[in-house]
Amino acid sequence: MAKVKRVYTFGDKKAEGNTGMKNLLGGKGANLAEMNLTGVPVPPGFTITTEVCTEYNEIGSDKVIDLLKEDVEAAIKNIENIMGSKFGSRDNPCLVSVRSGARVSMPGMMDTVLNLGMNDDAVLGLASKTGNPRFAWDSYRRFVQMYGDVVLGLKPESKEDVDPFEEIIEALKEERCLENDVDLTVDDLKLLVTKFKKAVKDKTGHDFPTDPWEQLWGAIGAVFNSWMNQRAIYYRQINNIPEEWGTAVNVQAMVFGNMGKKSGTGVAFTRDAATGENLFNGEYLIDAQGEDVVAGVRTPQQITREGSLRWAKLAGKTEEERVAKYPSLEEVMPEAYHELFNIQKKLEDHYGDMQDLEFTIQDGKLWLLQTRNGKRTGGAMVKIAMDLLKEGKIDEKTALLRQEPNKLDELLHPVFDKKALANAKVVGKGLPASPGAATGQIVFFADEADKYTNSILVRIETSPEDLEGMNIAKGILTARGGMTSHAAVVARGMGKCCVSGAGNISINYKNRTMKAGDITFKEGDWISLNGSIGEVYESKIATIDPQMGGDFGEIMELAEKYTRMDVRTNADTPKDAKVARKFGAKGIGLTRTEHMFFEGDRIKAMREMILAENEKDRRKALDKILPYQREDFEGILEAMEGYGVTIRLLDPPLHEFVPHEKENQSEMAEELGISPEEVKQIVDSLHEFNPMLGHRGCRLGNTYPEITEMQARAIIEAACNLKKKGIDAKPEIMVPLIGTVEELKMQEEIIRIVAEEVFKEKGIKVDYLVGTMIEIPRAALTADKVAEVAEFFSFGTNDLTQMTFGYSRDDAGKFLPIYLKKGILNDDPFQILDQEGVGQLVRMGTERGRAARKDLKIGICGEHGGEPSSVEFCHSVGMNYVSCSPFRVPIARLAAAQANIR
Amino acid sequence: MAKVKRVYTFGDKKAEGNTGMKNLLGGKGANLAEMNLTGVPVPPGFTITTEVCTEYNEIGSDKVIDLLKEDVEAAIKNIENIMGSKFGSRDNPCLVSVRSGARVSMPGMMDTVLNLGMNDDAVLGLASKTGNPRFAWDSYRRFVQMYGDVVLGLKPESKEDVDPFEEIIEALKEERCLENDVDLTVDDLKLLVTKFKKAVKDKTGHDFPTDPWEQLWGAIGAVFNSWMNQRAIYYRQINNIPEEWGTAVNVQAMVFGNMGKKSGTGVAFTRDAATGENLFNGEYLIDAQGEDVVAGVRTPQQITREGSLRWAKLAGKTEEERVAKYPSLEEVMPEAYHELFNIQKKLEDHYGDMQDLEFTIQDGKLWLLQTRNGKRTGGAMVKIAMDLLKEGKIDEKTALLRQEPNKLDELLHPVFDKKALANAKVVGKGLPASPGAATGQIVFFADEADKYTNSILVRIETSPEDLEGMNIAKGILTARGGMTSHAAVVARGMGKCCVSGAGNISINYKNRTMKAGDITFKEGDWISLNGSIGEVYESKIATIDPQMGGDFGEIMELAEKYTRMDVRTNADTPKDAKVARKFGAKGIGLTRTEHMFFEGDRIKAMREMILAENEKDRRKALDKILPYQREDFEGILEAMEGYGVTIRLLDPPLHEFVPHEKENQSEMAEELGISPEEVKQIVDSLHEFNPMLGHRGCRLGNTYPEITEMQARAIIEAACNLKKKGIDAKPEIMVPLIGTVEELKMQEEIIRIVAEEVFKEKGIKVDYLVGTMIEIPRAALTADKVAEVAEFFSFGTNDLTQMTFGYSRDDAGKFLPIYLKKGILNDDPFQILDQEGVGQLVRMGTERGRAARKDLKIGICGEHGGEPSSVEFCHSVGMNYVSCSPFRVPIARLAAAQANIR
């Protein structure tokens, strides 16, 4: 029997493993091997396999060390040979890092111990080699602390308890009256090392290990132990990671960029991460460690000469200054630069994607520490993928799968000018309710949104009455409400920037002021909103309009080629419909008719209808609304000519249409010629304890069938009128909020009767469908019966989520953030479809519906229709389409294509 | 091949069919046959089988008549022979009735044609035989109308259109200036017959058939046709009745009780329908038709002499008067009486239940027209079943199955004195929210309920703050709210009379007045409520307390013997627990802890807790509540010693505990030493759009774990204290409103930690369970995961119904009554568990839960736990117990036993 191979070495462009061995070597180990194999100089080291982790848990530490000893010793020797240094040596110490590395990255496990091998001898060697005793002693101090914490278990379990090492540092700083760690002297650091070791002795009863080998075995054991700690077990449970996978251990030589003028460290990108341009770029510092680049204490220099010249121009440096103080790596160390340049090309070709590299130059020798796919902006994401495709480096499917659909959003909305933004003061933080940037003057009332050319509507919360004002304002800020509050939903539909639920903001309508922290803003004051991250800024900030380049169009064409599902849009106006069509929407999945009732005179007729005391008066008022509705429908149906347009019948409770403030009630009373008391009484009678579960949806149409008659008539008349003009209108009439098939049946009968009447009157017929929204759990449970009547289903996952979880989206702000923080929920179910619970009902509804009616058309029109993971779910249950707000259409199209490719 | 038998005759105590042939002869036909076979004189006739109905629909009218002709002619001959009359004869006409009769009674089908065989000859024969030309011609007129409407199709389809015959009558009455039909003269009636026939000719183009045979075949065809009419088809669809069942046709001789002094008609009961006493009784009239007895124009006489004597005493008649004007049948026609007496004994023995008989005496000859199981009061129901059991006429299972569980309710609550009630004026009508009778003086505020010895609390709606007052008041009347409104639920729990949602009542708190229709009531005015039927009366009405006889106890013992499921109770106080235990409850299925927070000083501590700005202050307030809670739990656990007590942790949203009126807010501010503005601000911040879907249930415990800690501590301490006293307390701690297992897990961990702490402190351990309420659809959908943590499930079907239907029970009053009226819903799902939708989730939750944990204890604690059909469903899904309010416990026990027997 061949001996089981437990240790895989790498270094000097050779490796025993490769990228295909992730299961055995873990992700990190496999990548380190692969980098070597691509001919990249990587600090040498070795990986102990994941199988050893399982052995460790079975047979224990001692026996495993016996099994490993020989191989590990040989592997360390290999490191020493390549690096020309020696483990534990006073002259030329070899230090290593020890890291865990499972198949997938797993927080909760031991992360890293650096500088292992350090002891009272090695510290002197490092001090003399770097000429920097402070650095050497600080490294020692850090090593003892890190090793003490993670290997020897001194780190307290609870975050509230204090790390004993931190306690010692704080005490010393207090004694020395120092503010920062950097103010500690070399002697202080030496003292800390002594005190740290004593603390270890006190807590564990053992001396801190000075023998590098003892240190090494301890660290290896700690990695294996961490696989079975509580946090790791919990993480595996919730992420369905099997225990038997185990973790590997990676041991790798440390390299130092702070060993003098011939050393340095930096990061580089193979292409421009901001623009996607095919331009090698990056920053470095001479005689520095990685932390120094990140910390921003010293100004980092550019890697390429070209980059350096550009930078100097922007930073206002003369060429003399640049060459003297900020020369490029290309100029300073041309050899290392050229090696790096070649390596980056090789790595990008190898991985087929833009790489983000970390490197260190130790005494003139270049070492690559890491390479990974580089993070990038949405624009760069699209450009890089299309460039790589054109360069023949990836295929179409790969180009599509490379896209993060949500990032397309950046391409569709205005953004702040970066320089202007740098000086902006954040005064508030809310939810990123609708992306984009907006700057304008504060108004507090929707009907005053036109007071300024650029206004920001600031409300405690918005209501349907505010619709017109929201449309006029450049952005919307609310103090209350979540990601699916009225403001958020409407704003996303409009593609308008919105920050909702900004908790630190309090609004005083009476004084027309808004207080954000300590600052009080008046009406007319300038503020700015970043709806993509939920920030509120103090003043005016310049914005830049989105540039939709050719790459965007090309990636969308590719998506079209690989998709199965259609993408529709949710749109209430011809304008929205046209925008969405431009973005590639193939039809409308949801037209809310109620928004139409708020414009101009319509609301009067609507209120007259609500106030009617009998059917006759109600019909009279409805007759006034009919022409408006017909006109609206004509516009929308025409804008979506040739595609299906799903029109939802009246849905919200009637109280949303009546004024709740005294002043407005008086106005309404005057208009309608009744007393304000009567108006108040009616408004009060419409009050509901739980309007979400109240008299709304088809419950309106079934208690007041004349409303359905009017709406059905408006839709069918509109379609007939268009057909006469040669326009192909395809209305799909959707009955909302049904829970029983009888509710649908009764509405369907009314619709069919009205349609026949209209056909007779107009002497023309049009095709139309009657279907329903599945948004009540009971409708999904009885979908087989519902489908006997419905010609299509549209899952209203907003309401379905509300009722399946029993969460009111308007009220969930009180507990949902806490649930997310405590891990009771992984995601906000109003943003990401809850596949485990709500998804069961969606799947059940789809399967049972199709069982009763094979060709049942099925879609989704909740907010989830534009969320990539939810779109993938919709694809997997076999929906015909998803529908989302116009500005999410490209995202959904991409997600739909990806789902189909996967 | 033997000839198919299509016609089954009966008469003269012989019959070709019997009661076992319901499928072939329909219910009515089989019963008529059976009555003959028991030796009862029934007007002779025959039944055409249901199979012929199918043939009729396949081969058509003409061919079916060919098949039937011979047999029907023979059967008519048989009738003529027995009756000594002749079809179509002028001297001695034989008239028949024709009725449809399917396996089950089916509205929507043709009902009855009476007096068939009538024509210009027969009318003269009838006139001379009865000596009553007016009756004969009125019968003729009615026959033409009935036959025209249902056989010849003159009855208009829509209820809004007018029956052509009614139109003719109205016109004639107008001409004659008459108000009532009875004022029409014989000549008028003759004229009507002529006009009716003309109308038939005008509408159908054919003469009205005068040949009795033509009439008969027409009527038989009409019955078969009616099986396929729209209403019948619709009825079959919604009741799942297969089309192939078909309907039978019953043709039977007419008999007349108005043929002089030797004729008469009446109804009789084999036992007393009000008391259950084994006493033959009934009423009759000489020379009268059945309608006369019902119409109440003449005072009906008693059948037995004993009954007649009793009646005379009550009615204040002298013996002379009685004998002269109101003699009993026993005295007037002793022979017929004795035959009837023997028959009733025979029939009761035969059917094994109290019978309700209809009879007619034609010219001295007794005919039984109908016998059926008699309707009876709850008390009679119990007594008759137990008597029959003791008489050996039925067995125990039959006695149990004879009970309508809901009727037991009558035995458990006070009722109005019948005589007093007769004079009471109904001033309002609401929902029968909680049964019983109550009389008292009006109070409008809960804290004034003790103003009068007998008070009725009148509110627009009640809230938890009103609890104490509701307990004091004799009855509760609300203007708003449904069967599961706060008032209704609490009142049922208390066994207190309540009428809710009385729409015609408007309340003015300021003036302390209530307007009911035109009448205005002031505080202190007397009113009375009947919670069993939802009526409100103007004044004081005497009530009678329930008498629980030995029969009640005996039937309950029987139920115990035959049940599988336990019945628990929902009880929040030791008092309720004791009441329920007396009624046979085996444990508590739901203790709501929140009601406890309203008593006396507790609410102050509760409010202090809600107003606390941080955890520390909250804990301080909770420490004050702890002793109260512990005391409550000790009381309840002790009252239910030996049985499980499910205690639900805090459930309602916090805003229910804070005052909403300005005055009370000021009071609270003073108590807590803060400003009224601060109180208002906090109260406002607790406002939720949809509190039902808001921050409540375990969402409170998971955001404020210290509340759960306090409650868990109070429960476990209570159990430990009791155990030290030797009392066996079995707490089951129930986490409410979970939607994800993580929510439960987090609460469970807190509870277990607290329990261990308490055990250590007390030096004693008790058994306890941790489980959850399944009331969120998602919890049912993921019940397998939930059961990994939960030791028991209790289905909260109130909330589960709310969320599965998307109905807020507080708001459904706006559409639910209309839905029930329009037939969109068959039942109020808050009263009768919706097995089709909500039931799916209950079944799914049970099956998935048990799959994960075999011994999972499962129960129901919603309002449905006391509703018989829902109890049967709970049995069928395999629940361990149902739980209901104390006064429903006997009902649920009976239903549980019945479910098990079935």
pLDDT value of position B488: 82
Residue B589 C-alpha, separation from nearest chain A C-alpha, in angstroms: 22
Cβ–Cβ < 8 Å for A830, A809: yes
Q: For all residues of chain A together, what is the average pLDDT?
A: 90
Q: Which residue in the set A781, A803, A836 is minimally distant from B806, CB to CB?
A: A803
Q: Considering only CA atoms, give the Rg of chain A.
A: 33
| Whether the predicted pLDDT of B723 surpasses 80 | yes
Contacts of B776 in chain A (CB under 8 A): 804-806
Report the alpha-carbon angle B828-B829-B834, nearest 5: 135
Residue A1 C-alpha, separation from nearest chain B C-alpha, in angstroms: 44
Please answer yes or no on whether B695 and A776 come within 8 Å at the CB atom.
no
Q: Is B460 on the interface with A (CB under 8 A)?
A: no
Contacts of A836 in chain B (CB under 8 A): 782
Contacts of A815 in chain B (CB under 8 A): 695, 699, 702-703
| Whether the predicted pLDDT of A394 surpasses 90 | yes
**Mutation for A interface: B695, B774, B830, most A CBs within 10 A:** B695
Residue B702 C-alpha, separation from nearest chain A C-alpha, in angstroms: 8
Q: Is B691 on the interface with A (CB under 8 A)?
A: yes
Of A589, A578, A569, the residue nearest A888 (C-alpha) = A569
pLDDT value of position B306: 93
| Whether the predicted pLDDT of B821 surpasses 90 | no
pLDDT class of B273 with cuts at 50, 70, 90:
confident
List the structure tokens of B246.
């078909």
pLDDT value of position B547: 64
Q: Is A838 on the interface with B (CB under 8 A)?
A: yes
Which CA distances in Å does A564 have to A871, A875, B485? 12, 8, 49
pLDDT class of B622 with cuts at 50, 70, 90:
very high
Which CA distances in Å does A37 have to A31, A42, A50, A78? 10, 10, 21, 17
Contacts of B737 in chain A (CB under 8 A): 806
| Whether the predicted pLDDT of B49 surpasses 60 | yes
- Active centre residues of B (catalytic): 486, 861
pLDDT class of A480 with cuts at 50, 70, 90:
confident
Torsion angle of C-alpha atoms B76, B77, B82, B84, degrees rounded to 10: 110
Q: Which residue in the set A688, A737, A781 is minimally distant from B808, CB to CB?
A: A688
Q: Which of A38-52, A225-239, A343-357 has the lowest mean pLDDT?
A: A225-239
Which CA distances in Å does B209 have to B72, B188, B213? 19, 21, 9
Three-class SS state of A492: helix
pLDDT value of position B383: 93
Residue A393 C-alpha, separation from nearest chain B C-alpha, in angstroms: 46
pLDDT value of position A595: 76
Maximum mean pLDDT: which of A55-69, A539-553, A726-740, B281-295: A726-740
Residues 750-779 of B with CB under 8 A from A: 775-778
User: A675: how many CB neighbours lie within 10 A of its CB?
Assistant: 12
Q: Which residue in the set B737, B777, B810 is minimally distant from A803, CB to CB?
A: B777
Instruction: Give the percent of chain A with pLDDT over 90.
Output: 59
Contacts of A695 in chain B (CB under 8 A): 811, 814-815
Please answer yes or no on whether B777 and A834 come within 8 Å at the CB atom.
no
pLDDT class of B160 with cuts at 50, 70, 90:
low
Please give the sequence-ordered ranges of beta strands (E in DSSP) within A426-472, or none if there are none. Answer: 426-429, 431-434, 437-443, 455-459
pLDDT value of position B295: 58
Please answer yes or no on whether A811 and B694 come within 8 Å at the CB atom.
yes
Contacts of A743 in chain B (CB under 8 A): 819, 824
Please answer yes or no on whether A695 and B814 come within 8 Å at the CB atom.
yes
Q: Is A804 on the interface with B (CB under 8 A)?
A: yes
List the structure tokens of A756.
């026949």
pLDDT value of position A473: 93
Q: Which of A17-21, A747-751, B271-275 has the lowest mean pLDDT?
A: B271-275
pLDDT value of position A130: 81
Mean pLDDT of A883-890: 91
Distance CA B380, CA B384 (A): 6
Contacts of B509 in chain A (CB under 8 A): none
- Active centre residues of A (catalytic): 486, 861
Q: Is B726 on the interface with A (CB under 8 A)?
A: no
Give the nearest chain B residue to A838 (CA atoms).
Answer: B778
Please answer yes or no on whether B804 and A778 come within 8 Å at the CB atom.
yes
**Mutation for A interface: B230, B814, B820, most A CBs within 10 A:** B814
Q: List A588's β-bridge partners, or say none.
A: A569, A645
Helix, strand, coil percentages, rounded to 5, for chain A: 50, 20, 30
Contacts of A688 in chain B (CB under 8 A): 808, 810-811, 814
Query: Is ipTM strictly over 0.95?
Result: no
Q: Which residue in the set B688, B703, B815 is minimally distant from A808, CB to CB?
A: B688
| Whether the predicted pLDDT of A447 surpasses 90 | no
Q: Which residue in the set A703, A742, A808 is minimally distant from B689, CB to CB?
A: A808
Mean pLDDT of A703-716: 95
pLDDT value of position A772: 98
| Whether the predicted pLDDT of B495 surpasses 90 | no
Mean pLDDT of B164-176: 88
Sheet with B365-373: list strands edge to edge: B301-302, B281-286, B264-269, B355-362, B365-373
List the structure tokens of A838.
């709500």
Three-class SS state of B229: coil
Residue A837 C-alpha, separation from nearest chain B C-alpha, in angstroms: 5
Contacts of A703 in chain B (CB under 8 A): 814-815, 818
Mean pLDDT of B47-66: 91
Please answer yes or no on whether A689 and B746 come within 8 Å at the CB atom.
no
Matching residue, tokens 């490029």 = A328
| Whether the predicted pLDDT of B1 surpasses 60 | no
Q: What are phi and psi of A7, to 5 degrees?
A: -125, 130
Distance CA A681, CA A665 (A): 10
Please answer yes or no on whether A808 and B737 come within 8 Å at the CB atom.
no
**Mutation for A interface: B781, B784, B848, most A CBs within 10 A:** B781
pLDDT value of position A292: 67
Q: Which residue in the set B693, B746, B802 is minimally distant from A808, CB to CB?
A: B693
| Whether the predicted pLDDT of A160 surpasses 70 | no
Which residue would you say has higher pLDDT here, A458 or A491? A458
Q: Is A575 on the interface with B (CB under 8 A)?
A: no
pLDDT value of position B558: 93
Size of interface A-B (CB pairs under 8 A): 171
Of B176, B196, B188, B210, the residue nearest B134 (C-alpha) = B188
pLDDT value of position B549: 61
pLDDT class of A293 with cuts at 50, 70, 90:
low
Of B713, B716, B693, the residue nearest B705 (C-alpha) = B713
Mean pLDDT of A730-735: 98
Contacts of A840 in chain B (CB under 8 A): 781
Q: Is A487 on the interface with B (CB under 8 A)?
A: no
Residue A776 C-alpha, separation from nearest chain B C-alpha, in angstroms: 6
Which residue would you say has higher pLDDT here, B122 or A413? B122
| Whether the predicted pLDDT of B158 surpasses 70 | no
pLDDT value of position A346: 93
| Whether the predicted pLDDT of A452 surpasses 70 | yes
Which residue would you say has higher pLDDT here, B586 or A543? B586
Who contacts B901 (Cβ-Cβ below 8 Å, separation ≥6)?
Answer: B397, B400, B401, B562
Mean pLDDT of A815-828: 89
pLDDT value of position B720: 97
Contacts of A818 in chain B (CB under 8 A): 702-703
Q: Give the β-pairing of A730-735 and A769-774.
A: parallel
Please answer yes or no on whether B806 and A737 come within 8 Å at the CB atom.
yes
One-letter amino acid for residue B619 of the chain: R
| Whether the predicted pLDDT of A866 surpasses 80 | yes
pLDDT value of position A296: 58
| Whether the predicted pLDDT of B291 surpasses 80 | no
Summarize pLDDT for B424-481 with one digit per residue, the tens. 889 998 888 888 899 999 999 988 998 998 999 999 988 877 888 888 899 999 988 7
Q: Is B710 on the interface with A (CB under 8 A)?
A: no
Could you say which DSSP state residue B631 is in?
A: H
pLDDT value of position A381: 92
Maximum mean pLDDT: which of A630-644, B236-250, B808-822: A630-644
Summarize pLDDT for A347-379 with one digit per residue, the tens. 999 999 999 899 999 989 999 988 888 888 888
Q: Is B149 on the interface with A (CB under 8 A)?
A: no
| Whether the predicted pLDDT of A218 surpasses 90 | yes
| Whether the predicted pLDDT of A1 surpasses 60 | no
